[in-house]
Amino acid sequence: MMASRLRVDGLRTRLVLVFITIVVIIAGATAGVVSFMARSWIYSNAQDVATAQFRDELRDVDGAQVTRTTASELRQLFPSDATLLVGDDEVQRGSVDPATLSPDFLAGVDGRGIIRFVRLDSERILLAMSVRVFESNDPDGDETLVTAVAIRPLEGVQDKFDDLLRAVALTLAGGVLVSGLLGLWIASTLVRPLRRLDRAAARAADGDLSVRLSEEGVTELAELTTTFNTMIARNETVIRGLEESEEQARRFVADVSHELRTPLAALVPVGEILREEIPQLSPDAGAAARIVSGEIGKLTRLVEDLIEMSRHDAQQARLVLDDVDLVELVRQSLTRRGWAESVELRGPDTIDATVDPRRIDVVVANLVGNALRHGEPPVRVEMHARPEWVDVAVVDHGPGISPEDSHAIFRRFYKVDTARGRSEGSGLGLSLAAENVRLHGGTITVDRVDSSTVFSVQLPRLRPR
């Protein structure tokens, strides 16, 4: 069940993957833009904090009085990490080497209270600011401009950026989860009706034409359901009409066959009498008598075959089982019809089986008669016994049967040679043989083996009574 639900080629899975892909692309692009902008803001904020802190430290020093502007005096006023410059003279070496400072950078802080900064990398910033210092012993009260330069860390930048990335990742994961659930819900609303339609189509294919679906859901699926219901209703009408026509045809054949039995019962003795009187008749009358007698026999066999087929159609055919020697049964069937000399029987001496002797006799007569009429000699019957099955094969050396005809040869009134009009048989022989074999629970097939045509019958040796 789960494997079928998670198939990559399934519509539901594809829709869910499409939703997730769209959300990942949009959310990923948005997260990238937001991260870039937030990163700039984080650096800008960190720079502002570092700059403000540096300005506050030096603002307290601005205007301070010292005894003399010596290094020892200035160190007490300024931060210890600041490099102090008075003019071009280095008063104190802090975190910056004055030799690394460009003239342009220092020129920007040649006035009091001006602060300048340059971000060195993702973690450090270079700051510079000038302040005034007065010497208390100077009677003129002249000021000295001291430039303080320091490198300060950008505190909290990486932590804030890591927090931002975690928030973006969690938001993206949540978006994927929500989009997956949303896609699954939308896909289910689309796939569920399609699955109902598939199950209904399968039921209709199995013959249940009463199946109908409720016309609900989205407009397109509802229209599809309406079309499906209309199609099934029309097919049901057509099939019901065909079944009724077939049933009427079967009833007609059964009725006509039974109606013909009575006049045929009177014609059969007449035919026999005519056949006996042929030697005493004139040549023309004798020829006519032969034709009449032969046609009465053909009509009798046709009516008997139609009645037997109508029993199969009405499911009234029943087996009258008996324990017999199947080899002897086949031998008697050949002898009774005068085929013992022209048909070779191969097999063991005896094969015990539980069958309906009359129906097996019909099977053998139809298969062997078909081989003698439409095949070529030699014709033989091969029999083999297995623990639970008996194999009976009728072999002839005729031109064979094409693959197209082999699939239809057991249909009623089917003729391999469509140009052949009337024949000695009724056209129901192979069909009756197949029905009787199936009634025993066996199978019948036809194959071309080398230069031989082989009708193969498999019969169970034991049948429950």
Cβ atoms of 18 and 183 closer than 8 Å: yes
d(CA 393, CA 452): 11
d(CA 105, CA 128): 9
448 membership: H or E segment, kind and range: strand 443-449
Query: Once rounded to an integer, what is the mean pLDDT over residues 443-460?
Result: 88
Question: How confident is the model over 160-203, as pLDDT tens digits?
Answer: 777 777 887 887 788 778 877 777 777 777 777 777 888 888 88
Beta strand 64-66 with 124-135 is parallel
All domains of the chain, ordered by start, with CATH?
1-59+156-205 (no CATH), 62-155 (no CATH), 220-313 (1.10.287), 322-460 (3.30.565.10)
d(CA 32, CA 40): 12
457 has a pLDDT exceeding 90? yes
Residue matched to tokens 């040649």: 110
316 has a pLDDT exceeding 60? yes
* CA count, 13 A, side-chain hemisphere, 122: 8
Residue matched to tokens 């057509």: 238
* pLDDT score, position 264: 66
* pLDDT score, position 418: 46
Cβ atoms of 137 and 68 closer than 8 Å: yes
* pLDDT score, position 465: 54
Residue type for position 6? L
Task: Return the closest-CA partner of residue 73 out of 45, 50, 92, 51.
Answer: 92
Phi–psi pair at 296, nearest 5 degrees: -65, -40
Of 373 and 247, the structure prediction assigns the larger pLDDT to: 373
Query: Considering only 128-132, 275-279, 360-364, 444-448, which range has the smallest mean pLDDT?
Result: 275-279
Beta strand 322-325 with 352-355 is antiparallel
Beta strand 343-346 with 379-385 is parallel
* Among 86-90, 273-277, 353-357, the range of highest mean pLDDT: 353-357
Any alpha helices (H) in 346-424, and if so which ranges? 357-374, 403-406
Residue 1 binned pLDDT confidence (cut-offs 50, 70, 90): very low
Burial class (CB in 10 A: 0-12, 13-18, 19+), 73: middle
d(CA 47, CA 44): 5
Cβ neighbours around 339 below 10 Å, total: 19
Task: Return the closest-CA partner of residue 168 out of 39, 44, 30, 41.
Answer: 30
Residue 256 binned pLDDT confidence (cut-offs 50, 70, 90): low
Q: What tokens appear for 422 in the block? A: 């009337």
Most distant pair of Cα atoms in the chain: their distance: 180
pTM reported for the whole predicted model = 0.48
Residue 58's contacts (CB-CB under 8 Å, 6 or more residues apart) are 78, 129, 131, 148
Task: Dump strand ranges (E) for 326-407.
Answer: 343-346, 352-355, 379-385, 389-396
10 has a pLDDT exceeding 70? no
d(CA 388, CA 172): 69
* pLDDT score, position 459: 92
d(CA 273, CA 227): 67
Residue 424 binned pLDDT confidence (cut-offs 50, 70, 90): low
Task: Return the closest-CA partner of residue 225 out of 238, 233, 216.
Answer: 216
* pLDDT score, position 4: 45
> Nearest 10 degrees: CA dihedral of 360, 361, 362, 364?
90
CA 100, 62, 42: angle at the middle one, nearest 5?
60
Q: What tokens appear for 108 in the block? A: 């920007």
Task: Return the closest-CA partner of residue 198 out of 396, 446, 354, 12.
Answer: 12
